[in-house]
Amino acid sequence: MRNLSINLKKSRRINDRSRARLLVLASTSPRRRELLAEAGYNFESIAPRIGERPISGLTVRELALRNAIRKALAVARAHPDAVVLAADTLVALDHRIMGKPTNLDHAFAILRALSGQTHVVCSGVVICHLRSGQFRTFHETSYVRFKKLSDQRIRDYFSKINPLDKAGAYAAQGRGAEIIQKIEGSYTNVVGLPMEETIRLLRRFGIASRECR
């Protein structure tokens, strides 16, 4: 009878883990989806129905984590049995947050400001499983130094990418080498999701990539 009880407990633990193995990315960002897919994860992608808005008095790290928590909870409440992954990535120069540009003139002004400077890229990341009450957060900071950019170089860069859907009006991947001199820290963080720590934490939630199974 005691062996049967132990087996039933083991079975429940296995069933709990298997139910938690659905991974949901609380984002439709092509860059985050690509990073997860390249790492070998099976996942669903759901856009959280929230707006991102700056709040005075918060540091770039605090705001990134706050936005990530709001995204995660918006999706997790509708999918409590899933492991939900959410992230928010912000660009800041001298503690001033550079959001997504509102138009091309704004994008041009952002790259002019970043030209020849070192700025911060900070991601807040949340992984949670609402049914079991598991909730983990972390932040990652990278430092990006831009080359000196002439107005013509900025125009050439914008002719090859769309800056309007990107924090800081640029992307590290693709044509990033044309404007970036050096990255200190996680490259994938600058792309939009710091994969090194994300992979480690996903394992703690029972989520492994296809390569690691």
Supply the angle between the helices 104-114 and 151-158 in degrees, to the nearest 10.
Answer: 130
Question: What's the confidence (pLDDT) of residue 16?
Answer: 47
Q: What is the pLDDT of residues 88-116, one digit of tens each?
A: 999 999 989 998 999 999 999 999 999 99
Tell me the catalytic residues: 88
User: What per-residue string of b and e applies to 61-99 under the rule 16 or more CB within 10 Å gives b?
Assistant: bebbbebbbbbbbbbbeebeebbbbbbbbbbbbeeebbb
Q: What is the pLDDT of residues 10-47, one digit of tens each?
A: 444 434 444 446 999 999 999 999 999 999 999 999 99
In CATH terms, is domain 2-208 a member of 3.90.950.10? yes
Domain ranges of the chain: 2-208
